[in-house]
Amino acid sequence: MTQTNRLDGGQIDRNTSLSFRFDGRSYTAHPGDTLASALLANDVRLIGRSFKYHRPRGLLTAGSEEPNGMVELRTGARKEPNTRATTTEMFDGLEAYSQNRWPSLKFDALAVNDMFSNFLSAGFYYKTFMWPAAFWEKIYEPIIRRAAGLGSLSMEADPDEYDKGFRHCDLLIIGAGPSGLMAALTAGRAGADVILADEDFTLGGRLNSETIAVGDRSASDWAAQVVAELSSMPNVRLMPRTTVIGAFDHGIYGAVERTGDHLATLPAGKPRQILWRIYTQKTLLCAGATERPIAFENNDRPGVMMASALRTYANRYAVTASQRVAIFTNNDDGHRTATDLHAKGVKIAAVVDVREDAPSSYDYEVLKGAQVINTKGRHGLSFAEISLPDGSTRTLDCGALGVSGGWNPNVHLTCHQRGRPVWNEALAAFVPGGELPVGMSVAGAATGIMSTCGALQSGAEGAAKALNLTGALPDLPEAEDAPVIQTPFWYVQGCKRAWVDQQNDVTVKDVKLSYQEGFRSVEHLKRYTTLGMATDQGKTSNITGLAIMAEVAGKSIPEVGTTIFRPPYTPVPIATFAGRMKGQEFHPTRLTPSHYWAKDRGAVFVEVGNWLRAQWFPLPGETHWRQSVDREVRQTRASVGVCDCTTLGKIDVQGTDAAEFLNRIYANGFAKLAVGKTRYGLMLREDGMVMDDGTAARLAEDHFVVTTTTANAVSVYRHMEFVRQCLCPDMDVQLISTTEGWAQYAVAGPNARKLLQKIVDPEFDISNEAFPFMACGNVTVCGGLRARLFRISFSGELAYEIAVPSRYGDALMRRLMAEGEEFDVVPYGTEALGVMRVEKGHAAGNELNGTTTALNLGLGKMVSKKKDSIGSVLSEREALVEPDGLRLVGIKPLLAEDKITAGGHLMKADGPVDAAHDQGYVTSAVYSPILNSNIGLGLVKNGSERLGEKMRLVSPLTSLTVEVELVSAHFVDPEGERLRA
Amino acid sequence: MHDLVAITALGGAEPRVDTVGGVTCTEVPEVALASVAARMGQETSAAKALATLIDAPTPDVGRWAGTMITAFWVGPDQWMVEAPYDSHEGLADQVKATVGDTASVTEQTDAWTRFDLSGDSIPAVLELLCQLDLRRFDKGSAARCSIHHVGCFVICRTPEKVSLYGPRSSAGSLHHAIVTAMRSVQ
Amino acid sequence: MIINHPLLGPRDASEFTYLGDASLINRPDWQADNAAEAFYEYGYLRDNPAGEHQELWYHEAGDRSWLVVTRNTLTHEISKVELARDVARARGRSK
């Protein structure tokens, strides 16, 4: 087929031919076309089936307000459902498919729904599927889901890339029609930083759709000339193909730029879309207006379109929807379409104008005081039935019917900060209200100024006012300034089914029914009928729905009220919101200094927050993780093991008040800690619960290095800054994180000292006498590299932590392994670390879970009462110090092979098993290769007084019951002889 | 002299260099860093001592300044000092010797990884990475910001050369973000 | 939202971490006779005004300053931004 509906003129490149496919058939088009204009050019009017009744539907509009003309675009993983053909820029090789039809678009089995429409009216779900409840999930919903809905998903991951970006300007102009272009020109020439964004790929708005003149040239030429001037200004950034989707607080706007949607294939590395966050001082909304329909019987038949859309197709795309067109209007604008189409040689069947005093024409017949009462045609319009003022009817032979019910200003973005539009009686439309988003003003048709001349002027003035410009405005070109009078005409009386919201299949009757059934507030109407809740957000239907509601209620439209619009202005792919944050890039990954070495060793890694830590290091032949972990524990306790503990937070605390500061943030005292010593510190929240724990090493009188748990490094630092700035503003204390700066390794086991003596330079004596348990200090290693050494132990063994600048971490680890060979040194991961700390009875994240106090953890005596520290007062609350409270204990099964389950609850040996008799719960559970038994830690009521008691560990969810005994949490070396050795 | 061999934050023996379109991203390990935070009541003396050290007026809020040793503002009465690594590996001690008791000094050399961007479309890359108002980000500007959820410093040496400092452990993620943005705008 | 940082100028709220009511600066005296009661009120009782609210924000992705932001909870209008350290001193806090 060869574009039988193509006209002369237009802004398409006829020298280039593009080929595309719709439902498998090949067609041709030109650059400058949209999919919609190309389909019309090829005389394809039937585009899809409707949401609920599977009625045949075609195109209604030529813009982003389109409710009907939606397709599945592209194929495979790139398939995108519910894409508006009206905004899809044509490219060579485009493939699109119609939606919601089976087996084919022309014969759709579910069109049978349409025959049962009496049963499927508003609220039918609620009425029909009320009982029995269980049927909903199993029967009703699957059936409805199959029948209703529009496009289908590819069910594959989106292969394209999406970016996010940030831009700043003095003035954001939304919409590049006459007012937007004039505003940009005014602001741009004044030197302001301007962003001009428009959803279209050609800037100009309706100037590209009209045959009017602006100044001494055609409207579209004038637009092109202004765009050319703006492009040459370094302070003006033009953003075509960019939809401003939302207005947020304080001049922040969201905008989606479709950088790749118009390309057949994206160049490598290029994003398909960019989600911009635009920061602006001032915003001028020049979003124009949307033509509103008139509802009448069978007004959804393909070929029934907006009159302005017919004009756009004819003037911009050189396409007519049919060779015989009728117009149905209540205003003069509808006549413009007839005039333009007639000039292009399209036969005008008649202009049906509801007004008795409608203007006449020499070129075509005008039926005054007439209405369209029905349409006919199988898959598209063939005839329109007209009622004439004398009561007679007449049938018009036409393939397209342009409908114009007047224009609604596009107030959407004015509502995004809860601003409510107000009713303008003269326009019979809502215009922007007084409460606009901060910094926003509105110009042109969006504010109800409907003439081109008025739009140009209000754009220039709007920009000047927003920017406080004092100089002369640019000269305004001459343009049409016809007065616009809109007398509302919403729907034709007496129709059985006249469509208001075509995307959600809502009729005039449904709106009335909603009122009759008591759903009378606008918000209820919307939810009961689903009016305006489809992907087009009711751009062509909301106001009509309100008007019908007002009529039934006997109220005025402003009395009925209006719903407000929310972001996004048009649908946005979820992938655009995700941007680059998907898969591996969902969050940043932090690597430890020994990461590359560990990878070489074949380590298995685990995510700990953003960190990747070695979990264990399997050796050849080890097939189960327990084999590796058991070996790492045994070897460490038998000789020496090394573990990367860089991930622990490290905070440098300096200043003359540093010790006093630590006294404040830790529950236990630090003032008397000697230089060269380390102390365990317990940090409480102000409510008395444990916040974190770690060590503080005193490197100098006024210098400490504090460690935090890996998980709380960020929040502890924030907390310390809070105390420093907000609670103790005059303390001389300075903080900075050094977590990343030092590669820190735990070297643990009876041979730890022997190994370190081969690493630490000989001038530093690290014997037990010179460097006892809890000592710390600066040393050098491997012939002079600065390092820090701490004699602290998490494993319960003789242990040290050694730190070197991170860039040498990899080399130090390799050196430790090489020098440790004679001791059979073993690297151990987080699992072995966990096993050893449970064996030693050290609390960790599972115990420091935000609900435990120092007393619960057996650390009650650490909370000093002799000083002011965060959390100390509230830690003494009655409920927190009950003798019957939870205490940390060890848990051992009577049969060593019985598994302990973290999260399992403890019950007395006999008696009921229920929540009322709960004695406590297990926090951590591991297998101890040293005890050859499963063991655990738990919190048990008065647990420290109940050691030796037999209990039942239950997990009713998994039907688990294990007999256990409460023991000391210190399974290994309870006297601490090993770590002092 | 010790015999340990350093690796770069990206795990290589040599710094990584990537050129895409008109922008080059270079990993820069040869920089020593130390933070300087004025002691309570010593703010003026600390700033003066710092000025001596960098042989330039102490950088004001959001600025970077200096000669061979340079410094940029990181917080109230707090700066980061930069110097060539080869000559200043022990930078923290050198800085401490200058500022004495007027300020706390902390070694920061290996806490950060640095990537230098050079070329003429740096703004196009940066606007995909961070929220900074690039219209006001001129020569001598220094700002902390978040790049793909990584806390970074961005320093404008000249309009054609910008340094990004990110936490060393996140070097891989930061580098990926930078190079991805360079590909986006090429 | 945009928070106009007293030192750095306008910065996106996403760079900040929110804590809550700026009354958290008014930490009671631990040695007072009614310390338990006072800490209970300090820790748990908050006004929840529909209107102007002083609240603590931390410039986590910036200069690490704690700020006291006066924000209208109905309109999000921010009428004042101060360094929390200055506010704390003005409220009589010292060491």
Q: Is A409 helix (H, G, I), strand (E, B) or coil?
A: strand
Residue of C nearest to A722 (CA): C66
Rg (CA), chain C: 14
Task: State both tokens at A608.
Answer: 């700990």
A368: left (phi over 0), alpha (psi -120 to 50) or beta: beta
Q: Is C50 exposed, middle or buried (0-12, 13-18, 19+ CB in 10 A)?
A: exposed
CB-based contacts of A970, cutoff 8 Å, min separation 6:
A840, A841, A890
Nearest to B75 among C11, C14, C63 (CB): C63
Instruction: Give the H/E segment covering residue A546.
Output: helix A542-553
**Check whether domain B32-109 has CATH 3.30.70.1520, yes or no:** yes
Task: In whole angstroms, give the CA distance from residue B131 to residue C14.
Answer: 10
B186 touches chain C (CB under 8 A): no
Phi, psi of B101 (to 5 degrees): -85, 5
**Which residue in the block uniquely carries the two structure tokens 């019917």?**
A401
Query: A78, A89 in Cβ contact below 8 A?
Result: no
Instruction: Nearest by CB to B7, from A168, A731, A810: name it.
Output: A810
Q: For residue range A509-560, list pLDDT tens digits in order.
A: 999 999 999 988 888 988 999 999 888 889 999 999 999 999 999 999 989 8
C-beta of residue B115 within 8 angstroms of C-beta of residue C31:
no
pTM: 0.95
Using CA atoms, how far residue A230 sits from A180, A224, A227, A285, A926, in Å, is 12, 10, 5, 18, 69
Q: What is the mean pLDDT of chain A?
A: 94
Angle at A806 between CA A801 and CA A810, to 5 degrees: 85
Q: Reduce the DSSP state of residue A354 to 3 states and report it.
A: coil
pLDDT digits (tens, 9 = 90+) for A956-978: 888 889 999 999 999 999 998 99
* Fold entry, domain A488-560: Arc Repressor Mutant, subunit A (1.10.10)
Dump the DSSP string for A13-27.
-TTS-EEEEETTEEE
Neighbours of B13 (CB within 10 A): 8
Q: Model confidence at C69, in pLDDT bands (50, 70, 90)?
A: very high
Beta-carbon separation of A874 and C2 below 8 A: no
Mean pLDDT of chain B: 97
Distance from C-alpha of A87 to C-alpha of A205, rounded to nearest angstrom: 13
**How far apart are alpha carbons A160 and A273 in whole angstroms?**
9
A542 within 8 A of A531, measured Cβ to Cβ: yes
In which element (H, E) is residue A812 found?
Answer: helix A809-819
Q: Which pLDDT band, with edges at 50, 70 and 90, does A762 fall under?
A: very high
Question: By the 8 A CB rule, do A734 and A655 touch?
Answer: yes
CATH of domain A293-405: 3.50.50.60
Q: Which residue of A has its CA nearest to B74?
A: A736
> What's the average model confidence in pLDDT over A713-735?
98
pLDDT band at A103 (very low <50, low <70, confident <90, very high): confident
Q: What residues in A contact C89, CB-CB < 8 Å?
A: 729-730
Sign of torsion over alpha carbons A911, A913, A917, A922: positive
CATH 3.10.20.440 is right for the domain spanning A1-151: yes
Taking the C-alpha atoms of residue A250 and residue A192, their distance in angstroms, rounded to an integer, is: 19
- DSSP single-letter state for residue A450: -
Q: CA-nearest residue of chain C to B166?
A: C61
Cis bond before residue A568 (omega within 30° of 0) = yes
ipTM: 0.99
- Asked if A236 and A184 touch (Cβ cutoff 8 Å), the reply is yes
Q: Are A698 and A669 in contact (CB under 8 A)?
A: no
A73 vs A94: CA distance, rounded Å: 8
Integer CA distances (angstroms), A401 to A323, A384, A385, A795, A881, in order: 11, 8, 11, 83, 81
Give B116 to chain A, closest Cα distance, Å: 19
- Please indicate whether the domains covering A162-288+410-466 and A594-646+741-828 agree at the CATH topology level: no
- Please give the class, per CATH, of domain A649-738: alpha beta
What is the rounded average pLDDT of the residues A635-659? 98
Q: Please answer whether residues A287 and A245 qualify as being in contact, where contact means their C-beta atoms are separated by less than 8 angstroms.
A: no
Count the neighbouring beta carbons within 10 Å of the beta carbon of residue A628.
Answer: 23
Sequence-separated (6 or more) residues with CB below 8 Å from residue A425: none
Average pLDDT over residues A3-20: 95
Closest to A629 measured CA to CA, from A431, A833, A425: A833
Q: What is the Cα–Cα distance from A710 to A615, expressed in whole angstroms?
A: 15
Output the 3-class SS for B107-162.
ECHHHEEEEEEEECCHHHHHCCCCCCCHHHCCCCEEEEEEECCEEEEEEEEECCEE
Helix (H, G, I), strand (E, B) or coil at A977: coil
Helix axes A542-553, A522-529, angle to 10 degrees: 120
pLDDT over 80 at B126, yes or no: yes
**Quick check: A798 pLDDT over 70?**
yes
Answer whether A727 sits within 8 Å of C19, measured CB to CB.
no
Residue where the block lists tokens 């509601």? A549
User: What's the gap in Å between the CA of B131 and the closest CA on chain C?
Assistant: 8
- Count the neighbouring beta carbons within 10 Å of the beta carbon of residue B67: 9
Beta-sheet pairing, A826-827 with A641-644: parallel
Q: Scanning every residue of chain A, which has its alpha carbon at the shortest distance from the alpha carbon of C60?
A: A718
Strand segments (E) across A286-382: 289-291, 304-306, 324-329, 347-353, 366-368, 371-376
The one-letter amino acid at A230 = L
A279: chain B residues, CB-CB within 8 Å: 131, 133
Task: Please spell the DSSP secondary structure of A93-127, one letter per residue.
Answer: TEEEE--S-SB-SSSBGGGHHHHTGGGSSTTHHHH
Q: A497 vs A48, A53, A693, A914, CA distance in Å? A: 19, 12, 71, 61
Mean pLDDT is lowest, of A97-111, A237-251, B84-98, for A97-111
Please, which residues 730-749 of chain A have a Cβ atom closer than 8 Å to chain C? 730-731
Q: Which of 3.30.590.10, 3.30.479.30, 3.30.1360.120, 3.10.180.10 would CATH assign to domain A594-646+741-828?
A: 3.30.1360.120
Cβ pairs bridging B and C (under 8 Å): 31
Span B83-101, average pLDDT:
96
Find, among A762, A857, A745, A751, the residue nearest to A804 by Cα.
Answer: A745
- Number of residues that this document lists for chain B: 186
Residue A722: name the closest of C64, B133, B162 by CA. Answer: C64
* pLDDT tier at A71, thresholds 50, 70, 90: very high
Is A162-288+410-466 assigned to CATH 3.50.50.60? yes
Residue B173 bridge partners (DSSP): none
Please tell me the predicted confidence (pLDDT) of residue A1: 46
Q: Is the pLDDT of residue A109 over 90?
A: no
pLDDT band, very low/low/confident/very high, at A52 (cuts 50, 70, 90) = confident
Comparing A420-429, A622-631, B37-46, the range with the smallest average pLDDT is A420-429
pLDDT in tens, B23-49: 999 999 999 999 999 999 999 999 999
Task: Please name the helix (run of DSSP H) or strand (run of DSSP E) that holds residue A684, with its range, or none.
Answer: strand A678-684
Annotated domain spans of chain A: 1-151, 162-288+410-466, 293-405, 488-560, 594-646+741-828, 649-738, 883-967
State the CB neighbour count (10 A cutoff) for residue A8: 9
Q: C71 pLDDT exceeds 90?
A: yes
Which of the four CATH numbers 3.30.1360.120, 3.30.565.10, 3.40.50.2000, 3.40.605.10 does domain B17-29+111-185 have?
3.30.1360.120
Angle value at C-alpha A786, between A780 and A789, nearest 5 degrees = 65
Residue A245: phi and psi, rounded to 5, are -95, -20
- Rounded Cα–Cα distance for residues A472 and A458 (Å): 14
A686 touches chain C (CB under 8 A): yes
Dihedral, CA of residue A912, residue A914, residue A915 and residue A920, to nearest 10? 70
Q: What is the DSSP letter of A424?
A: E
Give the chain A residue nearest B136 (alpha carbons).
A168
Residue ranges of domains in chain C: 53-95
What does each C-alpha distance from A352 to A225, A434, A494 come to in angstroms? 37, 37, 18
How many cross-chain Cβ pairs, A to B, lie less than 8 Å apart?
Answer: 154
Distance from CA of C15 to the nearest CA of A (A): 14
* Model confidence pLDDT, tens digit, residues A373-400: 999 998 899 999 999 999 999 999 999 9
CB contacts, 8 Å: A872 with chain C: 30
Question: With left for phi above 0 and alpha for psi between -120 and 50, is residue B112 left, alpha or beta?
Answer: beta
Q: Report the neighbours of A using a cutoff of 3 or more CB pairs below 8 angstroms.
A: B, C
Which tokens belong to B176? Answer: 């990926």
